[in-house]
């Protein structure tokens, strides 16, 4: 699964990498750690406005949801089953790219003679940004009149790098750059259920204080 990721790339880098216009600097949200459980606003590119970057809230609220509390269950979606799940099937054609330059997973390891869960940053070897496959929904006016979009990150089988860390052998779907336009344009979703095979690396981040899996932004970033 994917519940923690980062995005620290600047506006110029993002605009060039994704060939988009960043109309308002506030739409590019920077964070050393987006924590899914706090439902943050993140930067996305959607298929209804593919030339610009927008903000959306992490945790998809389906159009027919009876309560916004469903967000806690829609942070991720298995790409293999999105058309079968009532929470996601109405949003399958609402495609988005979720902008990131790394995500975090934890692995239990021996450190100083004690078993500890060690945080790992998973990123490309050059630290450049990439895109998770996402689905989005328009704001549900029964709960929210702000016109905000909400989104989920799709997951697939882990590649070799992530499988060494993630106990459930899952990872976010990272769309290959050459496939990003096809994803937004609505190509069959199962085409993209691949483990990302390019140059992902996993870097352990040691904190001499106890690492808390839901503890916020205390750990240093690698490419700052």
pLDDT at 157: 95
Q: Mean pLDDT, the chain, as a whole number? A: 88
Question: Cα separation of 117 and 57, whole Å?
Answer: 28
pTM for this entry: 0.89
pLDDT at 171: 96
Burial class (CB in 10 A: 0-12, 13-18, 19+), 100: buried
**What per-residue confidence (pLDDT) applies to 219?**
37
Pairing of β 149-157 and β 49-58: parallel
Contact 129, 103 (CB under 8 A): no
Which of 97, 98, 74 is closest to 86 using CA atoms? 74
- Token pair 């609505």 is at which residue? 186
Which of 61, 91, 81, 57 is CA-nearest to residue 73? Answer: 61
The set of residues, in sequence order, having a beta carbon less than 8 Å from that of 78 and lying 6+ positions away, is 154, 155, 156, 170
CATH architecture of the domain with range 4-103+127-197 = Alpha-Beta Complex (3.90)
**So what's the pLDDT on residue 222?**
40
- The pLDDT of 23-32, averaged and rounded, is 89
pLDDT score at 218: 38
How far is it, in rounded angstroms, from Cα 224 to Cα 211? 20
Q: Which of 21, 171, 169 is nearest to 100 (CA)?
A: 171
Q: Which of 93, 82, 79 is nearest to 46 (CA)?
A: 93
More confident residue, 224 or 158: 158
Q: What digits encode the pLDDT tens for the residues 52-101?
A: 999 999 999 998 888 889 999 999 999 999 999 999 999 999 999 999 99
3-state helix, strand, coil in the chain (%, to 5): 20, 35, 45
Report the distance separating Cα 103 and Cα 83, nearest Å: 26
> Rounded mean pLDDT of 128-145?
86
**So where are the chain's domains?**
4-103+127-197
Asked if residues 174 and 155 have their Cβ atoms less than 8 Å apart, the reply is no
Angle at the Cα of 196 from the Cα atoms of 194 and 202, rounded to 5 degrees: 145
- What pLDDT, in 10s, does the model give residues 188-212? 999 999 988 778 999 999 765 554 4
pLDDT tens-digit map of 96-112: 999 999 999 999 888 78
What does the block give as tokens for 19? 């060939």
């Amino acid at each position: 699964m994917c519940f923690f990721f980062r995005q620290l790339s600047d506006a110029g880098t993002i605009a060039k990498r994704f060939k988009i216009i960043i109309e308002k600097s506030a739409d590019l949200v920077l964070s050393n750690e987006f924590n899914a459980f706090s439902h943050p606003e993140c930067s996305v590119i959607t298929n209804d406005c593919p030339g610009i970057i927008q903000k959306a809230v992490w945790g998809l609220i389906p159009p027919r949801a009876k309560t916004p509390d469903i967000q806690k269950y829609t942070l991720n979606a298995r790409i293999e089953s999105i058309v079968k799940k009532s929470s996601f099937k109405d949003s399958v054609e609402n495609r988005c790219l979720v902008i990131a330059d790394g995500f975090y997973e934890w692995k239990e390891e021996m450190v100083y003679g004690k078993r500890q869960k060690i945080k790992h940053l998973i990123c490309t070897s050059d630290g450049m940004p990439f895109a998770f496959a996402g689905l989005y929904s328009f704001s549900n006016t029964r709960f929210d009149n702000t016109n905000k979009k909400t989104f989920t990150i799709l997951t697939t089988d882990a590649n070799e790098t992530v499988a060494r860390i993630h106990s459930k052998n899952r990872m976010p779907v990272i769309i290959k750059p050459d496939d990003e336009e096809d994803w937004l344009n609505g190509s069959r979703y199962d085409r993209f259920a691949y483990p990302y095979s390019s140059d992902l690396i996993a870097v352990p981040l040691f904190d001499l204080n106890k690492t808390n899996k839901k503890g916020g932004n205390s750990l240093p970033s690698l490419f700052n």
